Amino acid sequence: IDRGYDRRTCEVSGLSYWTCDPGRTTSGDTDQDPYTFIGRPILPGFDERGHALKERMRESFLAAFEASEHTRVDPYPVLARWRDDIHLTIASIADFQPHVTSGLADPPANPLTISQPCIRLTDVDAVGRSGRHLTTFEMMAHHVFNRPADGVEHYWIETCVDLCHRLLTETFAIDPNEVTYVENPWSGGGNAGAAVEVIVGGLELATLVFMDLEEHPEGDVEIKGLRYRTMPLQIIDTGYGLERFCWAAAGTPTIYEAIYPESVAWLKDLANFDAVLSAHKGVDVERLLGELSRLNGIMNIEAGVDAEALQATLIQRLAEAGVDVDVSLLTAVTEPLARIYAIPDHLHALAHMLGDGLVPSNAKDGYLARMLARRVLRMSNELELSVTLADLMGHHLDHHLPNRKMKQTREGMLHILDLEEARYNEMMRKSDRLVKKALESTTKDATSVDDDLLFELADVHGLQPEIVVGVGREAGWTDLVLRAGFAAEMAERHARLAKEAATSTKDADLVEALPDLPATSLLFYDDVHMTEMEASVLTCRPLLNQGVEGATHAVVLDKTCFYPEGGGQEGDQGRLSTEASDRRVLDTKKQGDHVLHLVDGPLEVGDLVQGSLDAARRQQLMDHHTAVHIVGGAARRILGPHIFQAGANKSVDSARLDITHHTRLQREDLDAIERLANDVLAQVQRTEKTELDRRDADRKHGFDLYQGGAPKGSSVRILRIADHDIQACGGTHHDEPGRIGSIRIVRSSAVQDGVERLTVVAGQAALRYARQQDELLRAASDALSVTPEDLPRAAERFFTEWKDQQKRIKRMEQEIAKLRTSGGDGGSTIVDGVRIIVQEVDADLKQLTNMLGVMTRDPEQPTVAVLGSREGGGKLLVAVTEGTVAAERYDAVKLLRAIAHHIKGGGG
């Protein structure tokens, strides 16, 4: 109000907005508001383009908020590994969820400013088409975390909007008449609050959210059918689109020319786009492109939208601007242009994903990277570009990410993309067969493919929906179409699966809700070698769900040296004894802050118990848990920085470690990892165990710390094995790694595409494994009457001889088949030029099949062959010579069924 703004209602959207432009009747963010900055930049003074423009714009923003007493915070990775409910960082506030926004941990600074790379694939279908949509962008932001009850109050709505306005009109010298502030309340993820969308020149540049509500069934505020109550924190969550600021400063036809100018020009040249334009003589293509740049915002393609209706609206608006085009002309110009625009965007997202260590696959976050890679490959093929996926990425890195610090090396990234292109080409070779088989039950006049089938083909075979529909059309299902926004639906599905997995990991409670008891004191963190203790029984409850066979009750003690199952490590076993009772501890679990000792009978509340755990078992579990850390670190050193733990289990017999990797591991890889792991046992004298505040842990060690999953508390227990491996882990580990003795990697197996499972044995388990291997070696040597040293040569010789014998047997069977089918054995006759053979022979199924092949192979001798055998319960086979008069006259299946009916058999 002080700056001449007044509040109005948008005549199109009905939303309230603030403006100082006396002639404005809309909010500026409707399909009635074309972009006004195309050709006349709204942010003056920015002559740079591409990477240089982004660098200068980002620095201007961060410096402005630093001058307003905000602390600059480094951006987080795009892989949100501090969270288990999302795969990718989708907004700057995601950096601080849920640990900071819930009040569990302090923010890294308060107030703070950041420019956070983000990836959102919900708009992937609109990228390249709308002129403004991106899958990857930087969200510049300033955040505040107020706690009024604790006296922590920095600023709220008025100050936040004032800071935004001064940034726009003073730092960036935007004309105030171009700026509107649209009121549009926000809700999501269980929180809500007032929000303001900042519109400049028809483009939303920023959103200011004032989060002070949390979802609650008895809340007194209702938003979109849900009830909310005031929460203890007042959080300012802002987002300023770096790339959109750059576009408004450049005034280019689309956002892509502003941020990826070198790539757009290069791709236009590779695709010979000028020839596409020159093919439409008599059409003012330059004017068409100019009007498209103003109106392309209409093409907001998302899940469920009618893409044809959007295109019709665009054509109508072009006509109103004096440019008459039909659908075919519009498609001929915009489709290749949309691909040229989308490729650098997708490459930028891929570079961030792979750079942070993601491995493409058909599952979880790996699917999202593979989806983008295959979209780029498909668009590249459609544009007939004569470059590889790695070539495209190399060009992109050089021009658009020259200074980006990445975990993955450039060479590693390009190698992964070479593998992805080879897999894509192999998949395309198989696609015709796979799609035809998948569509067998789909009628030829169908217009769509079942969603679940599309999901399955993508998850199992990596066949993207666009490919399935395209191959299906070519194979005869000519009416198939893919609804607009389906790729975004696929991305949303994987995001939803991540959230569901995060909420389903909690085990069912083993006992009814415990009374108000103090948290169990965990003695194993003070002394990991403690095996005996004295403690008091706080409660003893019957088990609701049997945790382990023989267990009937759960006992909670005031303190314990028994480790409860967690972090993939099995719970301890042992005994709890009193003067009156002696109970076996069959397993140990955790429920909330309490350790449950699952025992085979009740104990009295208040009893003093003597606890003794199975020391040998604990020792073996410690061996395996520590070994898993060491092997994981060794795998990263040997295979590359993309190695990340995808799962782990530590039991008595063995341990397993699932790691992300882009190729199958060979024995030489495992041997190299094993050698390095054993070197660590010899070289590292002691491990270092510390407990840090969550904020300090993140700052000191980064987010690879969370190999075992997102932490749940405000502090983090950290195991450091020199510089070899550093992880957040609450398990039991050796103080001296050398006490393990030895580590062996037994095997690797493919859990899923992009994930390798290492089976590891350590300590006594490694010795047992070595003895078993020795016994097998001696047994094999004795069986072949050779020494263990000569066993490899003997095995190779016997195997070679066996293969030679198999070949000789096969040749002899073929010769016998020829003799039997030559007519000398009888059973054959000629009927109207077709040889009819009916024989009973002594042969198994394989031999019968081979004989049929010989009989019906020669098209110069059309044949119908019927062979029967009594061996193995009886068999009957029928075959005809394909492509001959025999096949025209006789149907082998019908013949077989007719004969089978008379002999009370069946077949087909």
Name the segment(s) of the chain with CATH classification 3.30.930.10.
6-251
> How many CA atoms, within 13 angstroms, populate the side-chain half-sphere of residue 192?
20
Which runs of E-coded beta strand occur in 59-111? 71-72
* The domain over range 6-251 is classified in CATH as 3.40.50.1970: no
Q: Which residues are paired to 636 by β-bridges?
A: none
Q: Was domain 521-613 assigned CATH 3.40.50.720?
A: no
CB 29 within 8 A of CB 196: no
Indicate the SS3 state at residue 686: coil
H-helix segments, 25-174: 50-66, 157-166
The arrangement of strands across the sheet holding 834-840 comes to 828-831, 834-840, 863-869, 875-880
Query: 10-residue block means of pLDDT along the chain (908 residues)?
Result: 84 93 90 84 95 98 98 95 88 90 90 97 86 94 96 95 96 95 86 93 95 90 87 95 97 94 97 85 67 59 56 74 75 87 97 96 88 95 96 98 91 96 92 88 89 84 85 89 76 69 62 89 96 96 83 96 94 95 95 94 95 97 97 96 93 96 95 97 94 90 86 87 93 95 96 92 96 92 89 90 86 70 63 88 81 86 88 84 89 85 62
Domain at 634-775, CATH homologous superfamily: Threonyl-trna Synthetase; Chain A, domain 2 (3.30.980.10)
Q: What is the pLDDT of residue 824?
A: 47
What residue spans in the chain does CATH classification 2.40.30.130 cover?
A: 521-613
Give kind and range of the element (H or E) at residue 870: none
Render 342-403 in DSSP notation, one character per residue: HHHHHHHHHHHHHHTT----SSHHHHHHHHHHHHHHHHHHHHT--S-HHHHHHHHHHHH-TT
Distance from C-alpha of 22 to C-alpha of 176, rounded to nearest angstrom: 12
DSSP state string for 871-899:
GGG-EEEEEE-TTSHHHHH--HHHHHHHH
What angle (nearest 5°) sits at the alpha carbon of residue 137, between those of residues 409 and 299?
A: 130
Task: Report the alpha-carbon distance of residue 877 to residue 875 in Å, rounded.
Answer: 7
Sign of CA dihedral 254, 256, 262, 267: negative
CA distance 488 to 491: 5
Residue 464 corresponds to which tokens in the numbers above?
Answer: 């993207």
Could you write out the DSSP letters of every residue in 696-760?
Answer: HHHHHH-GGGGTT----SSEEEEEEETTTEEEE--S---SSGGGG--EEEEEEEEEETTEEEEEE
Q: Are 157 and 185 in contact (CB under 8 A)?
A: no
Which residues, including other chains, have CB under 8 Å from residue 201's CB and lie 6 or more apart? 28, 35, 36, 37, 42, 178, 248
Task: Please spell the DSSP secondary structure of 219-244, one letter per residue.
Answer: -SEEETTEEEEEEEEEEEEEEEEHHH
- What's the confidence (pLDDT) of residue 416? 96
How many whole angstroms separate alpha carbon 281 and alpha carbon 899? 70
User: In angstroms, how far is CA 593 from the centroid of its own chain?
Assistant: 32
CATH 3.30.980.10 segments of the chain: 634-775
Cα separation, 363 vs 752, in Å, equals 8
In this structure, what DSSP letter does residue 69 have? T
pTM listed for this prediction? 0.83
Residue 839, SS3 per DSSP: strand
Question: What residue has token string 């490694």?
Answer: 766
Distance from chain centroid for Cα 72: 30
Cα(309)–Cα(724) distance, integer angstroms:
58
